[in-house]
Amino acid sequence: MRRGRETGPIVYHGAMAPSLERSAGVLLHPTSLPSRFGTGDLGPAAVAYLRWLAGAGVTWWQVLPLHPPGPGRSPYSALSTFAGNELLISPGRLAEEGLVDPAWLDGAPSLPAEWVDFGAVEYWKGGLLREAFDRHRQQRRADLLQDLAEFRSRHSHWLDDFALFLALRRAHDGRAWYDWPRPLAFRDPAALAGWATDHRHEIELVVFCQFLFFRQWEALRAAARQEGVSILGDVPIFVALDSADVWAHPELFLLDGERRPRVVAGVPPDYFSATGQLWGNPLYDWDAIAADGYRWWIERLRHELTIADAVRLDHFRGFAAHWEVPASDADATGGRWVEGPGRALFDAVAAALGGLPFVAEDLGEITAEVVALRKDLGLPGMAILQFAFNPADRSLFLPYKLERDLVVYTGTHDNNTSLGWYLEDASAAERDLLRRYCGTDGHEIHWDMIRLALGSVAELAVIPHQDLAGLGGDCRMNTPGVAEGNWRFRVTPWMLSEDIQQRLADMIWTYGRAPTRPGDRI
Catalytic residue selected from 314, 362, 459, 467: 314
Cα 488 to chain centroid distance, Å, stands at 15
Among 377, 379, 376, 397, smallest CA distance to 387 is for 397
Residue 6 falls in the annotated catalytic set: no
Q: Distance (Å, rounded) from C-alpha 317 to C-alpha 68?
A: 25
Among 397, 390, 389, 331, smallest CA distance to 366 is for 397
- Which helix (DSSP H) or strand (DSSP E) does residue 51 occupy? helix 44-55
Q: Distance (Å, rounded) from C-alpha 133 to C-alpha 147?
A: 15
Catalytic residue selected from 361, 430, 448, 467: 361
Q: Which amino acid is at 294?
A: Y
What contacts 110, CB < 8 A, 6 or more positions away? Answer: none
As a dihedral over the C-alpha atoms of residue 299, residue 304, residue 310, residue 314, rounded to 10 degrees, the angle is: -90
**DSSP letters of 486-519?**
-S-B---GGGG-HHHHHHHHHHHHHTTSSSS-HH
Q: Which amino acid is at 129?
A: L
Q: By the 8 A CB rule, do 208 and 136 touch?
A: yes
Q: Which amino acid is at 411?
A: G
Beta-bridged to residue 27, according to DSSP, are: 62, 464
Residue 377: φ, ψ to 5°: -80, -10
Q: Is 120 left (phi over 0), alpha (psi -120 to 50) or beta?
A: alpha
388-416 exposure pattern, b = at least 16 Cβ within 10 A, e = fewer: bbeeeeeeebbbeebebbbbbbbbbbebb
Residue 414 falls in the annotated catalytic set: yes
Among 383, 376, 375, smallest CA distance to 402 is for 383
DSSP single-letter state for residue 335: -
Residue 314 falls in the annotated catalytic set: yes
360-375 exposure pattern, b = at least 16 Cβ within 10 A, e = fewer: bbbbbeeeeebeebbe
Catalytic residue selected from 202, 414, 432, 506: 414
Q: Which amino acid is at 511?
A: Y
So which residues are the catalytic ones? 314, 361, 414
